[in-house]
Structure formats: structure tokens, C-alpha cells
Structure 1
Amino acid sequence: MRLSTVILPVHARAEAVAQWRRAEELGFHAAYTYDHLSWRTFRDGPWYDALLTLAQAASVTERLRLGTLVTTPNFRHPVTLAKDLMTLDDISGGRITIGLGAGTDGFDAAAVGIPPLSPRERADRFGELVSQLDQLLTTSDVTVAGEYFSAVEARTIPGCVQRPRIPFAVAATGPRGLRLAARFGQAWVTTGDPATFEEGTAQQSRDAIAAQVGRLEAACEAENRDPASIERILLTGFLPERALESADAFEEFALAHAALGITEVVVPAPIPETQFALADDVFEGIAALAPALADARP
């Protein structure tokens, strides 16, 4: 199992640089950031652009993988996103992963004036984003027309450092999203089952995640793909378990989820006086578990 972190884009340059360097020094496999225009309780405070934040992170780290958890169609177009990602992959020397999700009708959509979409429409739009982004990052000249996005002789030259393109980590729990993950994803992302977050138990949450993994594997089999070929990323912070109270609690949590089929767990970097107010010593203790967790297998 791999151990990674997520650093929200709320820090000005000096603090941000320290955060990304610290993540590398602590030995995390990857450090991700949220790709929003604003987010929940942080809406009225500092919030910087995710892709420019990753460019800055790439310039001050050497080994750490970098990415978003997750980018959505709410304010990203496949053509410009592909160009940004190709450039980021070059800046980082081939260390970028793009997390992709369907988005909601929240702040991001409202900020750019997108009218509310039905769940079906969001799934349709997400399918276009993923499939067109795949084309744009693997083909140097793309023309494609969709209901939500189109490209006309769009160039992505010289292409990604990583071949055939940067990895996609597709966030999904429904049938259509899981099919996209199985078809295009090098990884799948879950935050668990929202229905268990407020009032569920740890066991109910683990049962729900096990069921999600089972549906992912069924989707892979339907695509004639080996289920073992896709990584399974669990973003913590939205689960009923108290896994971040101590390093010991986290170790039990991580090993239990490795047994469910999860191959990477992402923990939030501490932000004092927020829902991510993780004690620094606990955060460092969790990071120190990385070598032991590396041997954990589904």
C-alpha cells in the first residue's frame, strides 16, 4: 500500500513551498491538491489555482508525485486542460497524475454561471471530458464534437513526458463512472460512501468500500481488463472512522483497507483551526508508517 497526502491550495508561496517540500521529506508517495474555485468552509478565505499550485510544487520537489483530487468539468475544458497537463508533466519531469471527477452543482459551477445539471447530464458531460482528454493527450491533432465540449484541430505537441499519457485517477461510485474508470483510468478514487459519513459505523463504511471495489472489478472484467491493473485510491477525511487520531489507529485502518483492495491511502496535511486540524506529531507518525505499509497487499 502507498501512503500519500493532500495539500489544499490555501497557502501563499512561502508556506506552500514549505508544505510541498515537507511532504517529500516525510517520504509520501504523492501529494495532491483539490481543484476547485473555492471549497466549503474555505470559501471566504485564501484559495489558489490548483494547476499553478502544482507547477510551483514541481519546481521545489524532485521525487514526489503530484496531482489533483479531483479536477472536474465545472470550469475545465478538455482542450485547455490537456495543454496545461502536458506542460505540467514537462515541468515535473513526468510526475503528474490527474484525478478526474464528475463535479457537482456547487460553488465551482455557480461561479462560472453553469445552470444546474441533472445527475444524468453531469455523467454525460464527465464522459466527454474523460474521453476527449484521453484523445488530446495521446494524439497530436484532434477534432471532435460533443454535446458539452468540442475540439477543432487542437494540437498537443510534443505530448506528455509519461507515455502514452499522464495517468488518470477516476473518481466514481456509480455504474457509468466505474465504466469510465475501467476504460480510461490507471487508478480509481473513492472517498467512501457518503451515506455512512455522518451516522455510519466503521464496519458499515468498510462494507460499503468493499462493495465499491467489487463493482469496480466487475466493470474492469466487462471491459476485458485485469482488475489488478488499476490502482485504488482512498481519500480520507470523509469517513466515519477516527483513523487520524493516532498513528496506531491509522495503521489499523490502513491495513484493514488494504485487505479490502485499496492500494493507496491519502491523508490531509494539517491546517490548524479547520476540519483538517491534524496534530503535526500524528501526521509525522502516520508518514513514518509508509515503509511498513508498503508490504500490505489486497
Structure 2
Amino acid sequence: MTAPRIGAVMWPMRSWPEAGEPWRRAEDLGFRHAWVYDHIAWRGTTPWYDAYTTLAAAAAVTSRVRIGTLVTSPNFRHPVPTAHAIKTIDHVSGGRLTVGVGAGGTRRASDAGILGGDWTPGERASRFAEWVELLDRLLTDPETSFEGEYYTAREVVQEPGCVQRPRVPFVIAGDGPRGMRLAARYGTGWVTSAHGEGDEPYGIVRSRLEALRAACDAEGRRVDDLVLLTGFNEEPWLESTGAFADLAGRYAELGITEIALHWPRPGSPFEADMKVFEAIAAEHGEAR
């Protein structure tokens, strides 16, 4: 059993250059990856700066830590300009970008419906599937034309393409059958939280992993990076280094390979002792 690698979820709430310091600090602390949520506002929180612009800036002030979205939202992004931004950031970062993709939030206080329309769960899932398919083609094919139910692309040239080949890795967030099929088909990774109804967190993740493995078997491939996004239930991830080690060990037994911890944010549900956060990084990170 290999211990999960750890990453930090960053808060794009400060302007640059002040906002660059936590990204540099995340790298110095030894976090394997650093992520940002992709929203216009998050649960009503503003300011909330653009995820892709933030990642480009973060790439310029770091050199080792992998960076990415957790996750990109189809609520307000079209795959064509998104693919263009992805290629650019992959070059700026020297091939350190990972793109997380999800179906998009349903909360009006974040970004649901900001472009008009209220989609049913089925429509949201269908848009998500088409979005991922088109993004994959835009980042891998030399030229892409696509006529879908929701998205269109005409003679989009891919070159020079991504630094990472055949394209940047995708980690797909999807707890339902359609999302897991997308992860199995297009993802090098899958992301989940231990949040759900009807079971304790560990049991929720275990049952979801069983379903994911079945989806992978159906596609004839496997997903290697299993990302657990923490902080959405009562598990004491940042209570102490011992509490973190115990939880990380339990989830590693399930096959979780990556743990994403929120950077402590005072006055929020993600408030935590920064000294504990740094001690966890010192014990479990990759500092050089």
C-alpha cells in the first residue's frame, strides 16, 4: 500500500501579486499538486478570481508543483476557448497542468444558470458528456469540427498542442453512472468527496470506487489517480497530524492515491490551525 500524495485547494480571493505567495508556499511545503475551484462566485463568496487566469499566474511563480482545476465548470465555459487556455497554461507551466472537469454546480449562489436556463439533471449530465468529448478532441486531434446537441466547433486547429502528450491529463468528477463512464473513457484520474447520503464517508467512497471499477472494466481500461477532495463532512483531516495519518491510511486501503486538503481559511468552514497544516505537509509532502 502506497501512502496517498497530498495537494492543496487554493482560494482565488486575493489579487496579484499578493495571491501568488500561497502558491509559492504550497510548493515549498511539498504539496504534490495545488488546485483551484472554477466558478464566478463560490457559494456567494466574492471576489472570486478566474481559475484559468489564476493558474497561468501560479504557473509563472512556481516550478515543481502540479496545478489544476478542481473542477472546470461547463456552466459558463465553452470547450473551444477552454482548450485554447489549457494549451497555453500547459506551456507556461512546462507541462504541470491537470484539468479536472465536472458537470457544474447547481447553486445559484455560485454560477448555476448565469448564462440563462435551468437544466434538468439529465440535461446537465448530457452537456457534461458532450463537453468532455469535445474537449478531448480539441486537445488531441490536429483539427476539429464538431456538431453536437449543445456545442459546436468548426475547423479548430490544435497545433502546437499541449506539452504533455497526447494531451493534458483529465481528472473527472462524477459520482453517478454517466460521470463514471466518462472518467473510465477519458480520465487518467477520478475525483470524489466523501460527501453523500445514507452512509458514513468511508462507506460512501468505498461503494463509489466499486462502481468506478465496474465502469473501467466495461471500457477495458483503468483510472490510475483516485483523488479524494476533503473538507465536506465532519472527518477531522486537519485536527492533528495523527488524525490525518489515520484517515489517509484508511482511504489508501481503498486505493485512493491523492488527498486534496483545503488551505486553511479563517472565518469559514475550512478554518484550521496553519501549524497543523504545515506539519502534515512536512510529514507527508515532497519538499526538497
Match of 2:250 in 1: 256
Please list, as runs of the form range in 1=range in 2, the aligned pairs for 1:83-162 lying within 5 A after superposition. Answer: 83-106=84-107, 107-113=110-116, 115-162=117-164
- Can you list the C-alpha shifts for 1:224-272, whole angstroms capped at 9, x where unaligned? 11x3x42100010112312221111111011110011110000011121
Letter in 2 for 1:62: S
> Which consecutive unaligned segments of at least 5 residues does structure 1 have?
293-298
Letter in 1 for 2:207: A
2:231–2:237: 8 Å Cα contact kept in structure 1?
no
Match of 1:296 in 2: none
Report whether the alignment pairs 1:266 with 2:268: no
After superposition, the Cα gap between the structure-2 partners of 1:291 and 1:71, relative to the gap in structure 1 and judged at 3 Å, is closer
Match of 1:10 in 2: 13
Report whether the alignment pairs 1:287 with 2:287: no
Letter in 2 for 1:222: A
Q: What is the alpha-carbon root mean square deviation over aligned residues? A: 1.4
State how far apart, in whole Å, the 2-side matches of 1:118 and 1:35 are: 21
State how far apart, in whole Å, the 1-side matches of 2:246 and 2:105 are: 33
- Can you list the C-alpha shifts for 1:128-173, whole angstroms capped at 9, x where unaligned? 0100000000012100101111101112220000000000000011
Letter in 1 for 2:229: L
User: Normalized against structure 2, the TM-score is what?
Assistant: 0.94
1:20–1:61: 8 Å Cα contact kept in structure 2?
yes
After superposition, the Cα gap between the structure-2 partners of 1:250 and 1:126, relative to the gap in structure 1 and judged at 3 Å, is same
After superposition, the Cα gap between the structure-2 partners of 1:112 and 1:291, relative to the gap in structure 1 and judged at 3 Å, is closer
Match 2:212 to one of 207, 212, 216: 216
CA deviation after TM superposition for structure 1 residue 12, in Å: 1.4
CA deviation after TM superposition for structure 1 residue 41, in Å: 4.7
Please list, as runs of the form range in 1=range in 2, the aligned pairs for 1:11-26 lying within 5 A after superposition. Answer: 11-26=14-29
CA deviation after TM superposition for structure 1 residue 291, in Å: 5.2
Following superposition, which runs of at least 4 residues in structure 1 exceed 3 angstroms of deviation?
none
Identity between Structure 1 and Structure 2 (%):
48
State how far apart, in whole Å, the 1-side matches of 2:89 and 2:14 are: 20
Match of 1:241 in 2: 235
1:194–1:238: 8 Å Cα contact kept in structure 2?
no
State how far apart, in whole Å, the 2-side matches of 1:41 and 1:210 are: 32
- Can you list the C-alpha shifts for 1:26-65, whole angstroms capped at 9, x where unaligned? 00000000000000151xx321000000001000000010
Match of 2:225 in 1: 231
1:142–1:152: 8 Å Cα contact kept in structure 2?
yes
After superposition, the Cα gap between the structure-2 partners of 1:49 and 1:291, relative to the gap in structure 1 and judged at 3 Å, is closer
**Number of aligned pairs?**
281
2:59–2:93: 8 Å Cα contact kept in structure 1?
yes
CA deviation after TM superposition for structure 1 residue 24, in Å: 0.2
1:210–1:261: 8 Å Cα contact kept in structure 2?
no
Please list, as runs of the form range in 1=range in 2, the aligned pairs for 1:61-100 lying within 5 A after superposition. Answer: 61-100=62-101
CA deviation after TM superposition for structure 1 residue 15, in Å: 2.7
State how far apart, in whole Å, the 2-side matches of 1:194 and 1:75 are: 26
State how far apart, in whole Å, the 2-side matches of 1:291 and 1:19 are: 16
Letter in 2 for 1:18: E
> Which consecutive unaligned segments of at least 5 residues does structure 2 have?
none
State how far apart, in whole Å, the 2-side matches of 1:74 and 1:65 are: 25
Letter in 2 for 1:278: A
Match of 2:269 in 1: 275
Structure 2 residue matching 1:165: 3-state secondary structure: coil
Letter in 2 for 1:10: M
CA deviation after TM superposition for structure 1 residue 86, in Å: 0.4
State how far apart, in whole Å, the 2-side matches of 1:220 and 1:93 are: 30
Letter in 2 for 1:213: L
2:14–2:47: 8 Å Cα contact kept in structure 1?
yes
- The worse-fitting range, judged by mean Cα deviation, of 187-196 and 76-85 is 187-196
User: Normalized against structure 1, the TM-score is what?
Assistant: 0.91
CA deviation after TM superposition for structure 1 residue 288, in Å: 1.6
